[in-house]
Amino acid sequence: MDMRTSINADAIAVEKRWCAQNYKPLPVVITRAEGAWMWDGDGKRYLDMMAAYSAVNTGHGHPRILAALTDQVSKVAVISRAFHSDKLGPFLERLCRLTGLDGACPMNTGAEAVETAIKAARRWAYRVKGVAADQAEILVADGNFHGRTTTIVGFSSEPAYRDGFGPFAGGFRIVPFGDAAAMEAAITPNTAAILVEPIQGEAGIIVPPDGYLRRLRDICDRHNVLLILDEIQSGLGRTGHWFAHQHDGIRPDGLCLGKALGGGVMPVSAFVARRDVIDMFGPGSHGSTFGGSPLAAAVGLAALDTIADEGLVERSATLGAHMLSRLRAIRSPAITAVRGRGLWVGVEIDPSIASARHVCELLMRQGVLSKETHDTTIRFAPPLVIDHADLDWALDRFADTLSHLTNR
């Protein structure tokens, strides 16, 4: 073992010794990244086909975002919301105009944005809709992934996310994803909101039937129920529109955003909503020390401007259609399904041939980094700045890997 390989092994060993084992990363140590590429301690280069679960839509170390970060941190980074800043207003105005909604509550992580949405929906149900105290219900979808807090995992349908973490909060009902009729049948006078992902990411890039969101929008309008969409992964250009719900031509009542909102350099999230929903929050009802800090606002605004000015939404649509076409053209018995939208595709692997984890490990050796989900699906979600040639190179490596795996 040479010195550099030993350094990498030591880094993995130290992390395993001191870090909670709540992740199972691939055995690679990333020490540097730029654009769509990353390097390990040996200097080996890898193409990032994961983009940190869509947190790095603008690429690693984008100069414009780094400039905004360094400029702001040299002035003032965190003052909490105890005082005003000159950055928060312009950032949230930009975000609200982009979404077509009326106001926003800034937070840090995606899970916090979802928790914020839950609180807003419940209070709206009591104060606006007239639901009796503590009786509000929120309908969610089977296969959902909205975060890891105890409230959120309590309404997950994935046993591993729930095991050993109860008791859980009530007030949620799980309905099959993609079935608008079932969602409508589950509504009662106590229903405050429907909370869904337009495309389920962690479940394996599950795309619902065409018109699903339009039907949910109509159902919510008829029953006086809020439609809240979790676009933490699917938003900000990932699917070839600014937001995945725009494929169905609708507008939600509330929108959870995060990941790419932080420009790949820090956690920034927000719950954005129509006026009567966002106005449910008054002083003391909700908050965050770091949420909406001058640094977060400056970075968030730079991330939005970068996506817009560099045409990354349009790039995602064009390259995404190409990626989807190429993946669907691969004739391999290892592939049982290909699904996705924009630069966000899940490839289902036949478990009788290989696990998705094994395929990801083989890809890693070829210089392509991605990550499996639910043992059978490989996710391809590169930074939206990826070059066409680099994308084709990664897809070639994937096709070659499957060919060697199945001897075809």
Catalytic residue among 40, 48, 91, 145: 145
Confirm whether 3-58+311-406 and 63-309 share one CATH topology. no
**Averaged pLDDT for residues 217-233:** 98
Residues 164-180 have pLDDT tens digits of 999 999 999 999 999 99
The pLDDT value recorded for residue 245 is 98
User: Average pLDDT for residues 61-69, to the nearest whole number?
Assistant: 98
When pLDDT is averaged across residues 38-66 and rounded to a whole number, the result is 97
230 carries an active-site annotation = yes
- The pLDDT assigned to 131 comes to 98
Local structure of residue 207 (DSSP, 8 states) = P
259 is catalytic: yes
Q: Which of 155, 259, 380, 398 is catalytic?
A: 259
pLDDT at 8: 82
What was the pLDDT predicted at 408? 59
* 145 CA to centre of own chain: 9
pLDDT at 194: 99
Does 297 have pLDDT greater than 60? yes
The CATH number of the domain covering residues in 63-309: 3.40.640.10
> Does residue 1 carry a pLDDT above 50?
no
The domain made up of 3-58+311-406 has a fold known as Aspartate Aminotransferase, domain 1 (3.90.1150)
Give the span between the Cα atoms of 386 and 316, in whole angstroms: 9
Render pLDDT for 124-139 as a digit per residue (tens, 0 to 9): 999 999 999 999 999 9
Q: Which carries the bigger pLDDT value, residue 406 or residue 104?
A: 104
Mean pLDDT of 200-228: 98
Q: Where are the domains of the chain?
A: 3-58+311-406, 63-309
Residue 20 has pLDDT above 50, yes or no: yes
- The 10s digit of each residue's pLDDT in 233-247 is 999 999 999 999 999
In the sheet that 30-34 helps form, which strands lie side by side, from edge to edge? 30-34, 37-40, 45-48, 368-369
Compute the radius of gyration of the chain from its Cα atoms.
21
Say what the pLDDT of residue 9 is.
Answer: 87
40, 48, 230, 253: which one is catalytic? 230
pLDDT at 6 over 80: no
pLDDT in tens, 72-101: 999 999 999 999 999 999 999 999 999 999
Q: In this structure, which long-range contacts are made by residues 71-78, counting pairs with CB atoms below 8 Å and at least 24 apart in sequence?
A: 71/298, 72/294, 72/295, 72/298, 72/299, 73/295, 75/294, 76/294, 76/295, 77/293, 77/294, 77/295, 78/289, 78/290, 78/293, 78/294, 78/295
Which pLDDT score is estimated for 407?
Answer: 81
Catalytic residue check, 134: no
8 Å CB contact between 206 and 143: yes
**Residue 5: its pLDDT value, please?**
61
In the predicted model, what is the mean pLDDT of residues 131-158?
97
Mean pLDDT, rounded, of the chain = 96
Look at residue 16 in the predicted model and tell me its pLDDT: 95
The predicted model gives 277-294 an average pLDDT of: 97
Which pair of tokens denotes residue 113? Answer: 């944005």
Q: What integer is the mean pLDDT of 197-219?
A: 98
The SS3 of residue 147 is: coil
Asked if 102 and 276 count as a contact pair (C-beta separation under 8 A), the reply is: no
Which residues does residue 41 pair with via DSSP β-bridges, in sequence order? none
Which residues, 6+ apart, have CB-to-CB distance to 237 below 8 Å? 57, 260, 307, 312, 313, 315, 316, 342, 384
What's the token pair of residue 198? 């337009």
Q: Checking DSSP bridges between strand 226-230 and strand 254-257, what pairing results, if any? A: parallel
Pick from 274, 148, 284: which is nearest to 221 by CA? 274
**What are the counts of helices (DSSP H) followed by strands (DSSP E) for the chain?**
14, 15
Percent of the chain with pLDDT over 90: 96
Checking if the pLDDT of 278 tops 50, the result is yes
The yes-or-no verdict on residue 116 having pLDDT over 70 is: yes
pLDDT at residue 362 greater than cutoff 90: yes
Q: How far apart are CA 237 and CA 359, in angstroms?
A: 27
